[in-house]
Copies of this chain bind each other. A is one copy, B any other.
Amino acid sequence: MSARRVLERADELAAFTEEPGRITRPLASPALDGAMERVREWMEEAGLATRRDALGNLAGRTGEGPGTLLIGSHLDSVADAGRYDGVLGVLIALECVQELPLALELVAFADEEGMRFGSSYLGSRAYLGQLDEADLALRDASGITLREAIGEPSARLAPDDLRAYFEVHIEQGPVLEAAGEPLGVVTAIAGQSHATLVFEGEAGHAGTTPMALRRDAIAAAAEFVLATERIALDEPGLVATVGRVSVPGGAVNVIPGRAEATLDVRHAEDPARGRVIAGLRMIGEALRRRRGVRVRWSPVTEHGTTPLTLADGLAEVLPDAPRLPSGAGHDAVILSGVTDAAMLFVRCKGGISHNPAESVTEEDVAAAIDAAREFVRVAAEKACTT
C-alpha cells in the first residue's frame, strides 16, 4: 500500500521536467521547483512544518527533540534521467513519518547530480550553510553564475542538533541483482580520484612516416586505457574508467601528436586506490621512456572514502542483507562531515541508472519501506540513549 503510493508518486514527479518526453530536472529550474512544491504538499499532508532555502532545498519537520534525525535524498536529476534516482529516497522518507523520541526532519536536496554547474553536492552543502564564494561564482553552460541563478544564499537550513542522517537510494549497480537480494547495507562511499591526462607525442604524415619512427599519442593513450582496465581487474573492488578520449585537431591522415583523456578511479579503501593511481603513473612514465610520448597528469578531484558510521546499526535491522560500498557519490558524503550516517540500497533492474530504463519492483520498495521505518525507530531510540 505504502509501496504502491511511492511508485505512483514517482510517476507523478516524472512529469516535472525541462524537456518534454524525458526527465531532466536541473538545479534552479521551474521543473525542479514544481517537484519540490508537490513534495511540500505531501509533507504538509503528513503533518510536517516545511521550509525552503534560496538554492531550492526543501525541509519538513515534525516533533520536538533532544536532537534531530534527518532522512531524505535529492530531487534534481541528470539529463534524460530515470524516475527513481534520488526521488525514491525522498518518497520513502515520507513513509517513515512516525512518533519518535526526537525531532524528525525530511529533506529533499536541490542539487546532488551537479548537472547544471558541474558541481558536487550543492544541495546538502547549502543545507549545512557550507556554500562559499567559489561555489557562487560557478557558471553554467550559458555563462550564468550560481549567484545569478539563486540570488544570495540563505542562512543554514539545517537545525544545529543533527543526531543522524539516513538515506535510501537505488543501488545504481548490479551487485544486489546478481546476489538475488532486494536490499543492501552501504558500508562506505568509495573514495574517488579524477584526473585528466594529456599524451604528447609528435604529429606526422600518415603516409610517409614509417611505423618504427612514430611517436603516436593515440597509441600511447590506447596502452594507458588497456593498462587501466587490466590493473582494475586485478584489484578486487576497484573500478577505473577512461570516460573521454580525444585527438584535438586530429585528421584521418595525420599521426596524432596529442591525445587527451580522463580517468576515474574508485575504491572503498583509500590505500587500494592509492596503489592503483601509483601504478598508473608508472605506466605513464613507461610510455615516455618506451614510446617517447610524454604523459602529463593533472589531478582534478581527490576524495577519500567516507565510512558510514551507522552501517552496523542498519545491519542489525537487516541481518541477512549484503553489505557493500557505494561506488557512486551521495549526499551522505557531506552529511557524514557533521553527523553519523547510514544508507540503504534498493535493488534496481540491470543495475541501470541515469537512464529512462531505471526500474524497481513494488516488492523491493515495500521491503525498503519496512526496513527504513524500523531503522528510523531504532536509530531514534539509540540517539536518545547515547
- Which residues in A have some Cβ–Cβ distance to B below 8 Å? 171-175, 190, 192, 194, 203-213, 216, 218-219, 221-223, 225-226, 229, 232-233, 238-247, 250-256, 259, 262-264, 266, 300, 326-329, 351-355
Contacts and interface: CB of A to CB of B under 8 A. Distances in A.
Contact of A208 (B173, B229, B245, B252): B173
Nearest to A244: B250
A359 to B, nearest CB: 15
Nearest first, the 6 closest Cβ-Cβ pairs linking A and B are A173-B208, A207-B327, A222-B222, A206-B241, A222-B225, A252-B262
A175 B246 CA distance: 30
A208 B172 contact: yes
A326 B207 contact: yes
22 contacts: A172-B207, A174-B209, A174-B213, A194-B252, A194-B253, A206-B327, A207-B264, A208-B328, A208-B353, A209-B351, A210-B239, A211-B239, A218-B225, A218-B242, A218-B243, A221-B245, A222-B223, A226-B226, A243-B251, A243-B256, A245-B246, A252-B263
A298 to B, nearest CB: 12
A245 B233 contact: no
Contact of A239 (B171, B190, B209, B233): B209
A221 B225 CA distance: 9
Nearest to A266: B207
A171 to B, nearest CB: 7
A264 to B, nearest CB: 5
Contacts of A218: 225, 242-243, 245
A321 B212 CA distance: 23
Interface centre among A208, A326, A353 (most CB of B within 10 A): A208
Nearest to A227: B222
A226 B247 CA distance: 16
A211 B232 contact: yes
Interface centre among A213, A223, A242, A247 (most CB of B within 10 A): A242
B328 A207 contact: yes
A173 B212 CA distance: 13
A267 to B, nearest CB: 10
Contact of A205 (B225, B252, B354): B354
